[in-house]
Structure 1
Amino acid sequence: MKFSHSWRRYRKTILALFFCSALSSAQAVDFMPVQDVQTGMEGIAKTVIVGDTISNFDVKVLGVMKDKGPSGHLILAKFSGPVMEQTGGIAHGMSGSPVYINGKLVGAVAYGWGFADGTIGMITPIEDMVKLWNIPYEKNLTNTWSDKQLIPMKTPLMAYGFDKMAMDYFKSKLPQYNYETYDTASSSSDDIEKPLEAGGSVAALLVDGDLKLGAIGTVTYVDGKQMVAFGHPFLKHGSANYFMHNASIFTVVKSYESAFKLGSMGREVGTVTEDRGAGIAGVSGTISSGIPVRFHLKDIDMGRDKRSNVKVIEDKEMTPTLAATALYNMLNKTLDRSGEGTAKITYTITPKNKEQKPLTRTNMFYSSDSISEKTVDEFYNVIDVLMNNRFINYEITDINVETEITQDKKTAKLVDASASSTIVSPGDTIVVDVTLEPYRGEKINKEVFFVVPKDQPLGKYTLEVRGGGEIPLPYILEKQKYNLTDEILRRLKVYKDFDDLFDELQKTDTNNQIVVEILEDGISLVNEEASTKSVKKAKLQGVEDKPSPGDVKKKKDNEDLGDGKDDDKKNDKTAVDTEYIVQGDGQFTIHVMSVKDRDKALAKRAKEQVKMEHKLELEDQSNKKTTKSSQSTKDKPAKEKPSKEDPSSNKPSTDKPANDSSEQEA
């Protein structure tokens, strides 16, 4: 049978109309404006109780609360039915459940009412929620809304792969959010991509990959690839880039405080783009890259070698905490223990902008309580400083971390040091011989070659020798004298530009270094009277035994202690790496002179050294003659009556002065 071209065109038109009608009926729904909502109206709400099956419960409008919510009006309602009887009322995770009256979408279940049962709550109007699709991009909005009577139906954080210690660390870094976290599991259907639908479950993740951390709520409305959910803020960060995932509900867990949905966070299906007062909005099919964080961790004692990968959201407030929490958790898993240990960590932070420099840093840490937590402190601080600096937008594209941990205490005390010369000229090299005493180990020696800056003004200065993470003792005394806290010192430090800040992060001393540097003018604990009279090698004075170093935010060598003025000249120093965390410090007094005066002073000291050696030689010869004479007398027959005392007690003294000579200065 043949059909005319007109029939074919007619058939195509009919099919197209049918397709559009089916698509429209599947997605489009009429809205009921809040001004049309009346007391006594009844309807239904949709949510998931188990798996992916959407269930209904009854809704009855009690009234409208004018301008009570973070985005406008709220609708007060009573919820009932078998679902409410099963759950004991509205549960955390039901936030976003769509409410329909007369077939029209009114809004999303979003709030509870304090001091009442769980069947009373508030509905966020849908009109306010869909406005999220048209909000201009505004990154990192922080304006937490709160009401003492209205309680948001919280979306507790589901934590997959995290242990309790890691979650405690996470919450301690972000106490303002008052998170509730619950351990969850994976589901066999997590890898299956499922379309989002009103009343179904959705998850907004902060961490994805081998670890997952996010909130599970309910989808309110879907229009094509766009969706809105929750009905209240998650973090209220404004424009966002959370990872949007499918979710499957295991069960509703009843609680004396509030019931909550326990579920798995399934496959990633899109991105949450807005997080504001009326809820969250997202788009399907667009995957957020986030910030990949790759870990390579080794437990030297147990021979464990683990690699894992996560990605965290890019957010100036949360990224440092999320990355550090992931590292903390991975360390706990690799070690499979808590307590003391020594860690060596190397991390590289790579920016998106190729014109900006990546930062690579290696450091060592020891802790007698929690080596995992100690290891992540500096890591957290560096990411925080980079992302929140006041100069440029340093967007991170990748973080790579390598860590080795042992239970051994790899620390060493700085117990002694000597300088080849303390009378120098600008440009001279001072050889500092440092003696370290490792914990339960044999002493070892290290040489540090310190070059006096060529532009160093003439005069007396304090030369500091210390462990890389130690605060020089004179600085500690200055802090106490002027009651300077770490916060005050941080504010006193002024950076000229981002390069200045980046340079300090990159080059800040590490805990396993021996550092030799000239301290600021006017700070010295050295007994100058004693040091000028000595003809021996200058010995380290004031060795101080202090606790292990902290992190990069502590007071460092080139931070101002006084007026906080930005000084272009930084203290010159030399650092030598060791295999130990070096503890302790001490100081020399050095005299910086012109070449002519230096040579005169060294010549004078050399003459004094020769005289001293000659004097000691004469005394030694005299002692030898006295000893020989005494021996000769002892060998002669005794002519006098012997003493009644024990003859052995009549030996003459052979004491001789201590030889105080030593190698002369170069």
Structure 2
Amino acid sequence: MRIRSFAAAAVAACLVPVSPAFAGDPTMPLSQVQAGMQCTGRSVIQGTTISTFDVTVLDVASGEAAGIGNILIQVSGPAVDDTGIGPGFSGSPIYCPDADGVQRVIGAISQSVNEYGGKIALATSIDAILGTPVDVPSRPASARMKAAISRAKPIASPLSVSGLDAGLANALTTAAAKAGRPVLAVPAGPLGTFPVQTLQPGSAVAVGYSNGDVRTSATGTVAYVDGDRIWLFGHELEGNGRRALLLQDAYVYKIINNPLQIGAIASTYKLAASGHDLGTVTNDGFSAVAGRLGVLPHTVPINVIARDEDANTTNVVNTNAADEAAVDLPSGGSWTSAIAPLAVAQAASSVIGSVPGRMTGDMCARITVAEISKPLRFCNRYVSSSGGQSDDGGSSNAVLTGAANDLGSALGSIDAFTGKPPRVTGVNVLLKLHRGADQAFIDDITLPARARRGAKVKVKVALQVVRGAKLTRTYTMRIPRDAKTGRQTLRLVGQDADQGADAFTTIILGDDSSDQNEGGDPGPSSLDALADEVKATHRFDGVTVRIGRVRGEAFRDADYRISGQGDASIRITR
């Protein structure tokens, strides 16, 4: 990836103190790397201190395909003997002595070969990581090397999420595992005792998608540093080229030993959390992830206020999502549309302290877009009458999933705009929650004997409150102007409680499936149309009226979601 320039004002606002510059360590071209070399690997095993371990070069191949690890290695030593290596070790640099005894970087650990114990892996050459042309040996790979490459796969770092309460974290990891998208819920980094790190080869590092109260990232190891330029991982994140993500230091809690490859993370891995923002990840290439120290990418501030109206308590979640609109949303959607729903779910579950089956909530969202003069707003009410498990294995509550899904859908509409990408500058959400389902069913309705088309009438409705008393309320509604005259049956139809049909993992992690629209869907044709689409996230959850084939909105009760239906006869005149 080439470095992308940002607006001067954004650059000035995002400058951070620059760490001491490192001159690049001496490197060794792949042509000089030989089987039998006794080398040293560098990586963080616990905390932020770089540890070393022994590395033996077993074999070397030319690596004709970009991104394929071409150095077969075996690791040993106290730091790795008990666990082997796995996710989080990606990018760990390997130093080998040259003929004069000078320690030179030959590459970085990048790929697993699924060997029991995790002691054998592949490393990507430093030539490929730095992207410099080299005189690659033309000799073919040995049988042993071919077998290793055939089993190899990148030591992909799972998505690490911190800042979630236990219930929400369990729901997310369970749902993600079932969907085949490993997610680790990790403790927030101990920032109070975790100073800003000077990133150097072997340092723990994170590519951050968000910071603040809800932090999401992929963690690994620094492979090489040269001044303000930095290379990580030794393989791709997604291989999407240009990026605008947060470059962060990281804190390693522990190496989780998993030699039997059981569970969602089918290998040994580092349990690590992202830390301080230090720069921008600018390139997601096949052989490495690259970036620059010192300038931060643009982020979108997300503020969610959740109120427990029963306990009169408030929880606030503030987070910032990396904004990749300027580099054409290389992942296919914005991180704002994924992080904001997660922040809503965290704020809601945290303030309530549980996920009760019966719950009522009101959410109002305000989204500001630089190119649209007025903020985009919508409000919805959610009523959940039951709980349980969703189809993805996570906790199910229609208030939580409904609010998160609506916000994600509104932000997704902005992502899908096919014109010049609009720039989201802020997301603010107010969520009011209380226990119990505010739902009542229609028991009987009473109408006047007659009414004119288009006239307003009073309708008396007998209601049965769910798990409550009977009551009668009077509402004002309008007879549809296009209703037929004469004696008609007027039917009032309510709205049932929300079902929470969308799976939790789909809301937060997205859905790989896509509707196949013949000819494609161009989406809104203008920013005004886009604004209307976002505002249309608001749904009428009141009672509708039906007279024959004519339908319309009748009324909405401020206190209850009215469900069920009722009929009454009325004579309609001109």
TM-score by length of 2: 0.74
Check if 1:123 corresponds to 2:118: no
User: CA separation in 2, counterparts of 1:512 and 1:264?
Assistant: 42
Show the counterpart of 1:111: 111
Partner of 1:580: 560
Structure 2 residue aligned with 1:354: 372
Q: C-alpha displacement at 1:181, in angstroms?
A: 0.6
Deviation at 1:349, TM superposition (A): 1.9
In 1, the alpha carbon distance for the partners of 2:441 and 2:560 equals 9
In 2, Cα distance between equivalents of 1:72 and 1:152: 9
Q: Of 459, 463, 467, which residue of structure 2 is paired with 1:436?
A: 463
Could you report, residue by residue, the CA deviation over 1:189-243 in whole angstroms, capped at 9, with x for unpaired residues?
5563222111111122223112323222111111222211011223444433322
- Of residues 255, 259, 263, the one that matches 2:272 is 263
**Residue 162 (structure 2) aligns with:** 160
Report what 1:38 is aligned to.
34
Partner of 1:197 in structure 2?
Answer: 200
Report what 2:391 is aligned to: none
Q: What whole-Å deviation, never above 9, does each CA across 1:146-193 have from its counterpart, x for those lacking one?
A: x97213223244433213442355453796662141422432555632
Structure 1 position 393 matched with structure 2 position 421: yes
Amino acid at match of 1:324: P
Given candidates 326, 330, 333, the residue that maps to 2:350 is 333
Give CA deviations for 1:566-607 in whole Å, capped at 9, x if unaligned. Answer: xxxxx7645535211221245679998xxxxx45xxxxxxxx
Structure 2 Cα separation of the partners of residues 176 and 65 of structure 1: 35
CA contact (8 A) 1:517 1:574 kept: no
Q: Tell me how far apart the structure 2 counterparts of residues 238 and 497 of structure 1 sit (CA, whole Å).
A: 28
Residue from 77, 90, 97 that aligns with 2:85: 90
Residue 500 of structure 1 and its aligned partner are, at CA, apart by 5.1
Letter in 2 for 1:329: Q
For 1:309 and 1:251, locate their aligned partners in 2 and report how far apart those are by CA, in whole Å: 28
Q: Give the alignment partner of residue 343 of structure 1, picking from 361, 374, 389.
A: 361
**Structure 2 counterparts to residues 136-175 of structure 1, below 5 A:** 149-170=151-172, 172=175
8 Å CA contact retained: 2:86, 2:270:
yes
List per-residue Cα deviations over 1:535-558 (Å, max 9, x = no partner): xxxxxxxxxxxxxxxxxxxxxxxx
Write the letter of the residue equivalent to 1:368.
S
For residues 167 and 465 of structure 1, the distance between their equivalents in structure 2, rounded to whole angstroms, comes to 42
Shift of 1:309: 0.8
Q: Which residue of 2 aligns with 1:503?
A: 532
Structure 1 residues 79 and 173: CA distance shift in structure 2, 3 A: closer
The farther-off stretch of 53-62 and 571-580 is: 571-580
Give the SS at the match of 2:80.
Answer: helix
Distance in 1, Cα, partners of 2:546 & 2:529: 19
- Measured at CA, do residues 493 and 252 of structure 1 come closer, stay the same or move farther in structure 2, by a change above 3 Å? closer
Counterparts in 2 of 1:266 and 1:495: CA distance versus 1, 3 Å: closer
1:482-540 Cα deviation digits (max 9, x unpaired): xxxxx99999999774655653552466464233467867xxxxxxxxxxxxxxxxxxx
Which letter maps to 2:163? G
Q: Residue type matched to 1:213 in 2? A: T
User: Measured at CA, do residues 174 and 317 of structure 1 come closer, stay the same or move farther in structure 2, by a change above 3 Å?
Assistant: farther
- In 2, distance between residues paired with 1:574 and 1:148? 65
1:533 alignment counterpart: none
Q: Tell me how far 1:403 sits from its aligned partner.
A: 1.5
Match of 2:46 in 1: 50
Shift of 1:110: 0.7
Structure 1 distance, partners of 2:247, 2:276, is 9
Please point out which of 66, 73, 76 is paired with 2:72: 76
2:378/2:537 contact within 8 Å kept: no
* Residue of structure 2 equivalent to 1:411: 439
Give the distance between the partners of 1:240 and 1:414, measured in 2 at CA.
54
CA distance in 1, matches of 2:353, 2:200: 42
Partners in 1 of 2:476 and 2:249 — Cα distance?
Answer: 59
Query: Are the aligned partners of 1:90 and 1:259 in contact in 2 as well (CA < 8 Å)?
Result: yes
- 1:443 is paired with a residue whose SS is strand
Q: Distance in 2 between matches of 1:393 and 1:422?
A: 54
For residues 371-408 of structure 1, give each alpha carbon's deviation from its aligned partner in whole angstroms, at most 9, with x where no partner exists.
Answer: 43454333333333342355663432211111122112
SS in 1 for 2:242: strand
Question: Which of 543, 548, 553 lines up with 1:514 in the alignment?
Answer: 543
Q: Does 1:465 align with 2:461?
A: no
TM-score by length of 1: 0.64
Farther off after superposition, 383-392 or 236-245:
383-392
**CA 1:508 to 1:93, structure 2 compared with 1: closer, same or farther past 3 Å?**
closer
The aligned counterpart of 1:378 is 406
What does residue 218 of structure 1 align with? Answer: 221
Shift of 1:121: 0.8
1:576–1:32 CA distance, 2 compared to 1 (3 A): same
User: Which residue of 2 is the match for residue 14 of structure 1?
Assistant: none
**More helix as a share of residues:** 1
Amino acid at match of 2:366: T
Distance of aligned partners of 1:435 and 1:127 in 2 relative to their CA distance in 1, 3 Å threshold: farther
Cα distance between partner residues in 2 of 1:70 and 1:437: 67
The residue that corresponds to 1:300 in the other structure is: 309
In the TM superposition, what is the alpha-carbon distance from 1:468 to its structure 2 partner? 5.2
Q: Using the alignment, how far apart are the partners of 2:120 and 2:413 within structure 1?
A: 45
AA partner of residue 23 (structure 2)? Q
Structure 2 unmatched ranges of 5 or more: 1-19, 133-148, 262-266, 324-328, 388-396, 499-513
Deviations 1:13-49 (A, max 9, x none): xxxxxxxxxx99x413343333443333443222122
Give the whole-Å Cα distance in 1 for the aligned partners of 2:535 and 2:287: 43
CA 1:118/1:385 → structure 2, altered by over 3 Å: closer, same or farther?
A: same
In the alignment, the residues of structure 2 paired with residue 438 and residue 349 of structure 1 have an alpha-carbon distance, to the nearest angstrom, of 35
More strand as a share of residues = 2
**Counterpart for residue 366 of structure 1:** 384
Asked if the contact 1:512–1:581 (Cα under 8 Å) also holds between the matched residues in 2, the reply is: yes
Q: CA 1:62/1:346 → structure 2, altered by over 3 Å: closer, same or farther?
A: same
Alignment of 1:282-301 (within 5 A): 282-301=291-310
Task: Quote the sequence identity (%).
Answer: 22
For 1:433 and 1:148, the matched residues in 2 are separated by: 74
Task: Give the whole-Å Cα distance in 1 for the aligned partners of 2:169 and 2:493.
Answer: 36
- CA distance change for structure 1 residues 514 and 305 in 2, over 3 Å: closer, same or farther? same
Partner-residue secondary structure (3-state), 2:556: strand
Cα 1:376/1:33, change in 2 over 3 Å: same
Q: Which runs of 5+ in 1 are unaligned?
A: 1-22, 133-146, 472-486, 522-570, 593-597, 600-666
How many residues align? The count is 489
Show the counterpart of 2:59.
63
1:252-311 deviations in Å (ceiling 9; x for gaps): 232233332233432211222223322322222222342221121111222222223112
1:565-644 counterparts in 2 under 5 A? 573=553, 575-585=555-565, 598=573
Contact 2:299/2:321 (8 A) holds in 1: yes
Q: Give distance in 2, aligned partners of 1:88 and 1:279.
A: 25
- Whole-Å Cα distance in 1 between the matches of residues 344 and 153 of structure 2? 33
Q: What is the distance in 2 between the residues matched to 1:403 and 1:67?
A: 54
* RMSD between aligned residues: 3.8
Select between 458-467 and 339-348 the one with higher mean Cα deviation. Answer: 458-467
SS in 1 for 2:195: coil
Matched residue SS, 1:401: strand
CA distance in 1 between partners of 2:345 and 2:164 (Å): 9
Query: Helix, strand or coil for the counterpart of 2:470?
Result: coil
For 2:120 and 2:564, the matched residues in 1 are separated by: 63
Secondary structure, counterpart of 1:384 in structure 2: helix
